[in-house]
Amino acid sequence: MMNEVKYCNACGAQVEYRVPAGDHLPRHICPRCDNIQYFNPRVIVGCIPEWEDGRILMCRRNIEPRLGLWTFPAGFMELGETSGQGAARESMEESQADVEVGELLAMINVPYVSQLYVVHRGRMRTPHHGPTPESSETRLMTESEIPWDEIAFPTVLHSLRFFYADRAEGVARIHTLDLSSKPRRPRDREVSEGDPLPGQPVE
């Protein structure tokens, strides 16, 4: 959980919150060492891991938010990796699955939590999968087994719909979507999996 930004992380002095010269938005500026702390949207990377029989790998969340609801493997992109590398890493961390990450399936803007959701297609190299600290249960599912009423996030729901719509047509498109307003029902709200970002509305 990130608290309000009050100090310079380079020298420890108290920061000022104002628009730097030549900039257009207020930033956290250090009056002592001139360090500026920038906060930008985060990228969530994920994939839909498919086994050779067409079933896909779903994970039941073992952590808040959305504890107990279902998702495919996804999480924050880390420094130094591509979106595909991040999706493969998250698959291993969340489901023990060894996934060959493929082409982009969907890029979804979620501006109300300052996230960009990047979902790839994926092929499981082996049928192995299993629970992890982040997933209480992992399961290979046919389309009719997907628990549509127990999906953790709208981004996951839309990505699954894109995936199955393409499959029904026998195509592999790249989909884009802007989720421009916060859903009313609390359980449909997209929320950050980590700390809120300064300047973001936090409920």
Residues at the site binding Zn ion, with contacts judged by CB under 5 A:
8, 10-11, 13, 30, 32-33, 35
Residue reference for tokens 């420094």: 79
Which whole-number Å values give the CA distances from 72 to 1, 62, 146, 159, 160, in the listed order? 24, 13, 11, 10, 9
The binder of a copy of itself chosen from 47, 57, 74, 77 (CB under 8 A): 77
Residue 160 to residues 50, 73, 151, Cα–Cα distance (Å): 12, 12, 10
- Least distance to Zn ion, CB of residue 78, Å: 23
**Residue 8 binds a copy of itself, judged by CB under 8 A:** yes
Residue among 58, 83, 48, 67 nearest 193 (CA): 67
Six-digit token string for 67 = 């504890």
Judged by beta carbon distances under 5 to 8 A according to partner kind, the member of Zn ion, a copy of itself, none in contact with residue 199 is a copy of itself
Smallest distance, a copy of itself to C-beta of residue 51, A: 24
Give the C-alpha separation, 36 to 106, whole Å.
33
Q: Is 160 helix (H, G, I), strand (E, B) or coil?
A: helix
- In 10 A of CB 25, how many CB atoms? 8
CA gap 110, 101 in Å, rounded = 23
Residue closer to a copy of itself (CB basis): 128 or 173: 173
Among 46, 84, 122, 154, binds a copy of itself (CB under 8 A): 84
Site string for a copy of itself, 9-48 (x = CB under 8 A): xxxx-xx------x-xx--x----xxxxxxxxxxx-----
Give the residue with the Cβ less far from a copy of itself, 112 or 164. 112
Which element (helix H / strand E) includes 82?
Answer: none
Closer to Zn ion by Cβ: residue 32 or 128: 32
Find the binder of a copy of itself among 67, 145, 147, 176 (CB under 8 A): 176
Q: Which residues bind a copy of itself (CB under 8 A)?
A: 1-12, 14-15, 22, 24-25, 28, 33-43, 76-85, 93, 103-104, 107, 109, 111-112, 114, 116, 118, 133, 174, 176, 178, 180, 194-195, 197, 199-200
